[in-house]
Structure 1
């Protein structure tokens, strides 16, 4: 059950833990590679339906595709400190693990190879994919992974404990103390739709100004339990993660910050009220540095992105959105790449940037920003991977059709062979990230546009500024 921000209505059901299995061939000489998709939506909205994630493009290849639902918002990520209640949080992540276990045990019935499973996801699904790579509870459940536009190191993936349950109860009408048992008893008496309706309005103006995106999300669980997923800071998992031994693809879209376009248009104060830009720094920096250091970092960001201009929602809109491209998405992606080169070598990691712009087929950008806006927005690559209700029938001669074939070719070949190189990108060769890369030099990635090129990371200089705010150990 969720509040759909586009349709502006509560929809869905608590009875939601279902999955879909799509198989082109139920018999073949060898079982088919399996691809398991985790949808995005900020851990607040999302669905595994054919309206958004239809299998048509993947079914052109010999693959078994699985999509599944997991609990969202307060139902998926309510966390209470009292161990007597046994609600430590991360129920939505535990749903994901349950789905992976089901796939491992049952996919052979659909001609899928239980020993060749690729987990992939976008945005919150990308962050979830990376979390599944880090928790010991998933070892052996999949064999390679693709994190698209989200990693566990992005600042929005792990939520800070901010008495969300108590605040939700008070929003509904609770008058008691901040006691977990009393709060839970009160919440349990409410209708699901009422909980969802109030869940969406918990953030204060200050929290929104600090770019907190939502209340209930993944947490570091407050105590150990039998099915604990995360019990320590993410950076403490990186060096010893079991997934350091499996291949990964990691990347994002060239103008991810367009995700914030409609938000700034609706709430211009988020740019107009910027002074020292400290509010734009991620929480992990705010917790580990003095106010003086934070002001210096904020000032550096202000000079880097705005120059001599005064931040203004209209006049410097795109400068702000470029800043948010790195802040919200790309620096977390970059840190995950650095962690893989440090701890996962020589296991291959393939780095990419999706940079294909279409006036009519970049559906998410058109939905969030309108057709006059240009740039490759957060979630735009999904239109080239899954058929959806907004998709038009394409001629095989169109650049959009060719992009679909290229994306499916790379993703499928990675699932099949652990190497994304395929005839659709030939003669370009997509090399794994070099573990011997000079720290002062940019990594190389595959830039996916009308032409596919293996290039230096375009935003390298900006990312090194964000790197400079961290010492090496907290960075990755």
Structure 2
């Protein structure tokens, strides 16, 4: 977001201040105490933007602070306490660079979660919805500024949001700005291949596992149904949801899932292992050899702020061409431990996943690639390089980029998206569509195919969010400015959660009605496994039909000014990507 004008940053800052003032007004003086498995906590009654009362319990520890010897390591359960712990205000976000203002923000002591509930003692336990935030494993937070539960709590659900360790206790890399490549660091995803150090990676995912164990054990104390838990997330949070679905560590901890714009097959969701820790240590001032234990000692003892300030790019030019998504992100762990989350390739884990027996909603937005609009316009050289598309061929195929077959695949992609046109700013739309398919929609398509093969006993619902608003699609406005229209990656969040950029809507507006539609679908699915909430359209959205897919027909629910089942747009282009894989590689 560095390209954002200073005046726009100032306006966003004012909105954030206004939001904090507003949230203080919505806090009442009524307190209540709940006993958890670790000790008693005190919450506070709040009011939503629409006047709905609910109890808020924030900054609930689900793990020991991951500092000192626990930095980079799998989380440990918290110590028990006997005195009432105040959980009436928000906890710190994970240490990171601020999404808008680029300042260092947050704390390493961040493993807390929040519980929001309308009724502590309902006559019937309520469905539980656990939110996992996105942000490329680089930024994000479980806060009301980003994910206030006001809309969801209009229905009878318990909403829980969890923090997990992120990448950006690490490099201040501007690769994203220059090459549209995320660059992630510590402490959430540092991976070292020495088993004696017990740092095999994926600490951030393991935070999520421990949080889900806490939810399973404690949600009933807040009016929730421990036998009816749904996890949902967007972008990297959606990939996290999918990781939680396929790892044995979470077996039985939840019962339904919603993946919004991301999954474990997204090319940015698995990090190829290079010598990232050593490179990062060097950027942060390390002068020793590439010795794993020496690098570990340096990074373990370095100040978080020093690592964040480490400048320079970790990726070399060849890696940028390979479109490597992360320096430090989820990995296939190099050795198996008792806390191992990802022991092998996700595509292999999906075949026998315990979650093949649970319902899934999966999908994305219509113009995911708009996320890169502004940075592409300011760095058009990346478009010129796409005259040769062989580097867009999925890295997962492990192809020699100089091989005739790889060049052939690249030519197919170039023809598919550009035809006879030359990649340039004049073909920006074509480029953003290709990125949308590469990073999001082809992985979604593959996941649907895998579910049809290996999860036949459970329904898979496919959707496409296509609602355009001049003023309420907040991620598009942040990413593209006010003049660009369309539905950008992350725009659907504006219709699930109240946030610091939103305002109270009148109930006759298009945007308000879209909130009603999306919240209705998601909460009804959480309640009973069927998203069709409108009695007049109770059969509208059907699970994906395997017989139709075999005939190359795929339908989805298009969520816009109305709910309508349509053919998946650009299916033929997705099938071009599919053609590069053997069947045993694809599924």
Are 1:105 and 2:217 an aligned pair?
Answer: yes
Measure how far apart 1:303 and its partner are: 1.0
- Counterpart of 1:298? 410
Cα distance in 2, alignment partners of residues 25 and 62 from structure 1: 9
Q: Flag the structure with more relative contact order, 1 or 2, with Cα contacts below 8 A and sequence separation at least 6.
A: 1
Cα distance in 2, alignment partners of residues 56 and 209 from structure 1: 43
- Counterpart of 1:282? 394
Measure how far apart 1:435 and its partner are: 2.2
Residues 244-323 of structure 1 aligned to structure 2 (within 5 Å):
244-287=356-399, 291-312=403-424, 314-323=425-434
Cα distance in 1, alignment partners of residues 100 and 314 from structure 2: 19
Residues 51-66 of structure 1 aligned to structure 2 (within 5 Å):
51-66=145-160
Measure how far apart 1:283 and its partner are: 1.2
Cα distance in 2, alignment partners of residues 199 and 139 from structure 1: 41
The secondary structure found in structure 1 opposite 2:426 is coil
Are 1:37 and 2:37 an aligned pair?
Answer: no
Which of 316, 320, 329 is 1:208 aligned to? 320
Are 1:28 and 2:140 an aligned pair?
Answer: no
- Counterpart of 2:470? 359
The secondary structure found in structure 1 opposite 2:387 is coil
Cα distance in 1, alignment partners of residues 133 and 355 from structure 2: 21
Moved more, 282-291 or 121-130: 282-291
Which of 416, 427, 432 is 2:543 aligned to? 432
The aligned length equals 475
- Counterpart of 2:48? none
The secondary structure found in structure 2 opposite 1:96 is helix
Which of 280, 288, 299 is 1:176 aligned to? 288
Cα distance in 1, alignment partners of residues 397 and 486 from structure 2: 29
Are 1:385 and 2:479 an aligned pair?
Answer: no
Cα distance in 2, alignment partners of residues 96 and 204 from structure 1: 31
Cα distance in 1, alignment partners of residues 316 and 398 from structure 2: 18
Measure how far apart 1:287 and its partner are: 4.2
Cα distance in 1, alignment partners of residues 402 and 320 from structure 2: 22
> When the two structures are superposed, what TM-score results if normalisation uses the length of structure 1?
0.97
**Does the 8 Å CA contact 1:135/1:229 hold for their aligned counterparts?**
yes
- Counterpart of 1:329? 440
Measure how far apart 1:458 and its partner are: 1.0
Which protein has the larger Cα radius of gyration, Structure 1 or Structure 2? 2
**Does the 8 Å CA contact 1:428/1:453 hold for their aligned counterparts?**
no
**Does the 8 Å CA contact 2:263/2:444 hold for their aligned counterparts?**
yes
Moved over 4 A (4+): 287-290
- In structure 2, relative to structure 1, the CA distance for the partners of 1:441 and 1:286 (3 Å cut) is same
**Does the 8 Å CA contact 2:267/2:325 hold for their aligned counterparts?**
no
The secondary structure found in structure 2 opposite 1:67 is strand
- Counterpart of 1:71? 165
- In structure 2, relative to structure 1, the CA distance for the partners of 1:197 and 1:442 (3 Å cut) is farther
**Does the 8 Å CA contact 1:3/1:197 hold for their aligned counterparts?**
no
Q: What does the per-residue CA deviation read over 1:53-96, in whole Å, with 9 as the maximum and x for residues that have no partner?
A: 00000110110000010001111000000111110000000000
- Counterpart of 2:563? 452
